[in-house]
Amino acid sequence: MEVVIRIACIYVLLTLAFRALGKRELSQLSPFELVMLLLIAEIVSPALTAGDESFTGAVFGAATLLVLAFAHSALSYRFKAMQKLTEASPALVVYHGRILEDVTRKERLRPDEIFSEMHKAGIERLDEVKFGFIEPDGMMSFVRVDHEDTHVPEQPAPA
């Protein structure tokens, strides 16, 4: 049936498109990006249903989408290549108090955005950051320098 194929195609297209857009677009939407997402929804909506307004079509469409999402999740877990194709990896953007400019350019991440995220995490200065990452969901996470001093006890040797 047409609606199944249409939804599968749009799902694959949008998954790859969002993968290509980059992580930053996922976490924070600027007004332009919000408009873009709303317009994408408007544009693809008629193509998905092709004028089929029936309840039957909606049930089949929803089931198709859910099965695709489940299959995507299972395949991404099982196959690294699938994960790499559809999901971004975390990127190191701050290394021992130094912003890695090459990475921030690729991620389109400004220093003030890094600072804003640092402040949200309760970090005042860049030199307090040992590692700063931009995660696959677009959020930033930090490992503080003073974590180096945290003593992790060794596992007791088996008796």
Contacts with another protein, residue ranges (CB under 8 A): 1-5, 52-57, 59-60, 63-64, 66-67, 70, 74, 77-80, 92, 95-96, 131, 133, 143
Q: How far is the CB of 138 from another protein (least distance, A)?
A: 18
In the complex with another protein, the residue whose CB is nearer, 44 or 82, is 82
Q: CB-based burial of residue 114 (10 Å sphere; 0-12 exposed, 13-18 middle, 19+ buried)? A: buried
Q: How far is the CB of 110 from another protein (least distance, A)?
A: 22
DSSP letter assigned to residue 121: T
In the complex with another protein, the residue whose CB is nearer, 34 or 50, is 50
**Sign of the C-alpha dihedral computed for residues 89, 75, 20 and 33 taken in this order:** negative
The H or E element containing residue 86 is helix 80-86
In the complex with another protein, the residue whose CB is nearer, 53 or 154, is 53
